């Protein structure tokens, strides 16, 4: 694990993160090769999720590459009364917007070839956002892809006065001891794996 660079050195932070991303992507790809039991186990966490947050609106994501497939989990949440939404990704440098989606409904093909709701779907403010990631650590810091979409989105929602919980969705094997954290990185409130919860220190 590389030493954590000083936050005052953005170049060092970027270089350390790039190295971690390569390693984390390889690890996640290996985990995804035998993911069937994990996907079903995650769906079995729906009751604990609903008990923990009592959400009215949950933002999911459409899994791409080797991201943990949360679609059966989202279906279980909808069966338990949650309204679902998915992100629409805008140009680089913007925040995500979340739009209503019923499980199984037709989707549009958006930026980066990711499935997303049609632009005329109702825009919603979620109570909980399920966040994909490459890696996480014991403090519930997240290593993303470098585009900053979720960091900007979470920051904008907080600045707008919205109380939104951010839950990382990951295989347990994606956990690292410590991540390199930049000044604009938004921490997660919790991480949910197929085997259970990892809680941020403030939530323990």
pLDDT band at residue 7 using 50, 70 and 90 as cut-offs: low
Backbone torsions φ then ψ of 98, nearest 5 degrees? -115, 135
**Residue 10: what pLDDT?**
74
Are the beta carbons of 75 and 43 closer than 8 angstroms? yes
Residue 2 backbone phi and psi in degrees, to 5: -65, 150
Scored b (16 or more CB within 10 A) or e, 71-84 reads bebbbbbbeeebbb
Nearest to 140 by CA among 171, 194, 184, 176: 176
pLDDT single digits (tens) 180-194: 998 899 999 999 999
- Identify the pLDDT of residue 189: 97
Percent of the chain past pLDDT 70, that is, above it, reads 95
State the Cα–Cα distance between residues 77 and 104, nearest whole angstrom. 13
pLDDT digits (tens, 9 = 90+) for 110-132: 999 999 999 999 999 999 999 99
With a cut of 60, say whether residue 1 has pLDDT above it: no
44-59 average pLDDT score? 98
Question: What is the spatial distance between Cα 192 and Cα 99, in angstroms, rounded to a whole number?
Answer: 23
Distance of alpha carbon 72 from its chain centroid, rounded?
A: 16
Number of neighbouring beta carbons within 10 Å of residue 156: 13
What percentage of the chain has pLDDT greater than the value 90? 87
Place of tokens 């917007």: 97
pLDDT at 202 over 80: no
- Residue ranges of domains in the chain, CATH in brackets: 10-203 (3.40.50.10420)
Per-residue pLDDT band for 5 (boundaries 50, 70, 90) equals very low
Averaged confidence pLDDT in the chain? 94
* Angle formed at CA 19 by CA 133 and CA 129, multiple of 5 degrees: 15
Name which of 106, 123, 132 is nearest 193 in CA terms: 132
**Averaged over 72-98, what is the pLDDT?**
98
Where does the pLDDT of residue 156 fall: very low under 50, low under 70, confident under 90, or very high at 90 and above? very high
Q: What is the pLDDT of residue 43?
A: 98
């Amino acid at each position: 694990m590389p030493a954590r660079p000083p936050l005052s050195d953005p170049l060092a932070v970027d270089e350390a993160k790039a190295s971690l991303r390569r390693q984390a992507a390889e690890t996640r790809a290996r985990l995804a090769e035998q993911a069937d039991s994990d996907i079903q186990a995650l769906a079995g966490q729906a009751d604990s999720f609903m008990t923990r947050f009592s959400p009215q609106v949950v933002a999911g994501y459409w899994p791409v590459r080797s991201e943990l497939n949360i679609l059966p989990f989202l279906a279980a949440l909808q069966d338990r009364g949650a309204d679902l939404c998915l992100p629409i990704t805008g140009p680089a440098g913007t925040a995500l917007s979340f739009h209503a989606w019923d499980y199984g409904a037709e989707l549009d093909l958006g930026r980066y070839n990711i499935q997303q709701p049609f632009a005329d779907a109702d825009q919603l403010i979620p109570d909980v956002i399920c966040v994909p990631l490459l890696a996480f650590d014991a403090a519930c810091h997240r290593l993303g892809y470098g585009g900053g979409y979720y960091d900007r989105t979470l920051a904008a929602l907080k600045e707008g006065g919205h109380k939104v919980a951010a839950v990382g969705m990951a295989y347990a094997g994606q956990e690292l001891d410590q991540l390199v954290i930049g000044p604009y990185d938004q921490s997660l409130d919790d991480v949910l794996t197929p085997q259970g919860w990892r809680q941020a220190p403030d939530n323990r």
